[in-house]
Amino acid sequence: MDASADKPHILVVDDDTRLRELLKSFLSRNDFRVSTAASAAEARQRLGSFDFDLIVLDVMMPGETGLAFAAELRRTDDVPILMLTAMVDTKDRIAGLETGVDDYLGKPFEPRELLLRIQSVLRRGRPAAVVATPEGELHQVPFGPYQFDLDLGELTQKGKRIPLTDAEIALMRAFTSRMGEVLSRETLCKTVGSGVNERAIDVQVTRLRRKIEPDPSFPRYLRTVRGQGYRLVDA
């Protein structure tokens, strides 16, 4: 049996051949299985052939950009995405968060920092050990027509799984573990991690509302408490 099959599988998408090969070599030495793609089109081919644990994706590629590719991918797939970017403007990073990417790393970067960020994203997305209550039930939190599994980080509606990004899972764990309580943006920043700011939290909440609210413009479950933060209620 191929021992590499048990290693986390990373897809590196970058049009820079030298960087692509350097990352493949570095990540392979650090116990990852690595595939590469030079474009969004090539990445789609890889995704059609393999299941990946995380995608390292360059923003500025010729033709279809990393942002456009991530936005399209998020409609059907919740695989974690770590974006590589030379863009440092906050609005550019927010644009990335709006597409559903899980973390950012600016170019140039130290390979060691990339490794630590990949490990952090994978830890956030890894299901926690399933812990039963004394009655033998899992930690399922119902609200409206939904049910969130705190242990697995899964949101379902009538048994159908709703894809969530790692950041959205972190938010749902925070909200459902403190159902009805107001959580400040500062608290939620610490929950999501990766150095996100309060504006980024607003973006993530907006994305989450699109998935759980009948009308995101008039939230029924995930409500804003003006001047304080957000709370999740079982309306």
8-31 tens-digit pLDDT: 999 999 999 999 999 999 999 999
Which residue among 100, 125, 150 closes a domain?
125
131 domain residue, yes or no: no
Amino acid at 88: V
* CATH number for position 99: 3.40.50.2300
130 domain residue, yes or no: no
Sign for the pseudo-dihedral over CA of 78, 80, 83, 89: positive
Which residue among 77, 94, 125 closes a domain?
125
31 domain residue, yes or no: yes
For residues 192 and 215, membership in a common domain is answered with yes
Segments of the chain assigned E as strands = 9-13, 33-37, 54-58, 81-85, 103-106, 140-143, 146-149, 154-157, 160-162, 222-225, 229-232
- Are the CB atoms for 170 and 177 separated by under 8 Å? no
For residues 79 and 157, membership in a common domain is answered with no
Which residue among 97, 125, 153 closes a domain?
125
Tokens read off for 71 = 């936005």
- Our count of domains for the chain comes to 2
At 195, the pLDDT band (50, 70, 90 cuts) reads low
Reply yes or no on whether the pLDDT at 148 is more than 50: yes
For residues 189 and 118, membership in a common domain is answered with no
- Are the CB atoms for 231 and 182 separated by under 8 Å? yes
For residues 15 and 84, membership in a common domain is answered with yes
133 domain residue, yes or no: no
Q: How far is CA 92 from the centre of its chain?
A: 17
At 136, the pLDDT band (50, 70, 90 cuts) reads very low
For residues 173 and 224, membership in a common domain is answered with yes
For residues 84 and 164, membership in a common domain is answered with no
At 2, the pLDDT band (50, 70, 90 cuts) reads low
**Look-up of token digits 């597409």:** 99
**Residues of the chain with pLDDT > 90: what percent?**
37
pTM over 0.85: no
Look over the chain and give the mean of its residue pLDDT values, rounded to a whole number.
Answer: 84
For residues 120 and 144, membership in a common domain is answered with no
For residues 161 and 87, membership in a common domain is answered with no
132 domain residue, yes or no: no
3-state SS, 43-106, equals HHHHHHHCCCCEEEEECCCCCCCHHHHHHHHCCCCCCCEEEEECCCCHHHHHHHHHHCCCEEEE
For residues 13 and 121, membership in a common domain is answered with yes
Reply yes or no on whether the pLDDT at 133 is more than 60: no
Q: Could you report the per-residue pLDDT of 41-100, keeping only the tens digit for each?
A: 999 999 988 889 999 999 888 889 898 999 888 877 778 899 888 765 666 667 777 777
By residue range, what is the domain housing residue 212? 140-232
40 domain residue, yes or no: yes
Give the CA angle between residues 131, 210, 64 to the nearest 5°: 105
79 domain residue, yes or no: yes
29 domain residue, yes or no: yes
